[in-house]
Amino acid sequence: MSRRIVLLPGDGIGPEVVAATTKVLDAVGDFTYEEHLIGGAAIDATGTALPDETLAACRDADAVLLGAVGGPKWDSTDPGRPRPEQGLLGIRKGMELFANLRPVRPLTALLDASPLKRERIEGTDLVVVRELTGGMYFGRKERTADSALDENAYTRAEVERIARVAFRAARRKVTNVDKMNVLEVSRFWREVVLDVHAREFADVPLDHLLVDNASMQLINAPSEFDVILTDNMFGDILSDEAAMITGSIGMLPSASLGEEGRPGLFEPVHGSAPDIAGKGIANPLATILSGALLLRHGLGLSDEADAVESAVDRALERGLRTPDLGGDATTDQATQAVLEQL
């Protein structure tokens, strides 16, 4: 039976990297696609970043693949104007996707592409487990002429469910990252994580880092991490920092998941890169690897996911390099190089 995947190409390079990924998906399975608007493209067409039709289609899909949203065309400090990022936040909330998984594993072929020394990043294989629908990004917001407010709030249930995801994902340990020396919400977060650990996962090693120290240790000793558990804003920042361990943010995939049985959302960590949109030089590998996460976590097709990830590894080992990795391969050439290894 053909699985139905909703495509949200979005803005900038999004349509290019999503199109590349569907070619790879078609090489390993039978899928039907339904394309919908989100982000700036949706604002231009409908006046809103997340049309009701898009959200309804995503809720009814087997899985959702997103490209990227945003760009300077829609930037504004006017709180009344729609922004592309509202589409991304809205779809996460609307699909009840509370867990964002961002694996970080520098490939052997790219160890020298990272700005960090090879010996510092060798052996790194971590995942950032980021809470996705709470915290400051979704808290109460106020704006006056002389002040602004973004409320940072979490409930016990929100912290418990993301903590369980992290503990279940652990192979060696969980590192909880917060700012409990300053923030009350972080003190509450740590208290709940400790409670879940004691009651349900006492056999999983657990340690804690303040977010400023964690950001330093992620560069100093990334291979020491296994699973990083953190809130929405800290996770957003730390996972982008971790992307540079791989040599390029164009290499990092992500999976956003909800309760079992609900469709997941899969997307590259990188942005819309409007400066190179339409030039055919965008690196599609993060989106292709997001497609592998879609196969594994969204559709339960682990063998097919392994095949895609292995094909990316081998293409890079055979010299594939897009401009962000110091080469000159086009989007089409990169896609073809992966297809040849499947």
Residues acting as catalytic residues: 137, 179, 212, 236, 240
Q: Give bridge partners of residue 174 from the DSSP assignment.
A: 206, 227
- Closest-CA residue to 126 (of 222, 210, 207): 222
Q: Specify the 3-state DSSP secondary structure of 229.
A: strand
Contacts of 244 (CB under 8 A, 6+ apart): 114, 115, 116
Angle ∠(127,229,286) on CA atoms, nearest 5:
30
- DSSP strands (E only) in 199-264: 206-210, 227-230, 253-257
DSSP letter for 274, please. Answer: T
User: 47-82: buried (b, 16+ CB within 10 Å) or exposed (e) per residue?
Assistant: ebbbbeebbebbeebbbbbbbbbbbeebeeeeeeeb
Is there a contact between 11 and 69 (Cβ–Cβ < 8 Å)?
Answer: yes
Helix axes 285-293, 302-317, angle to 10 degrees: 160
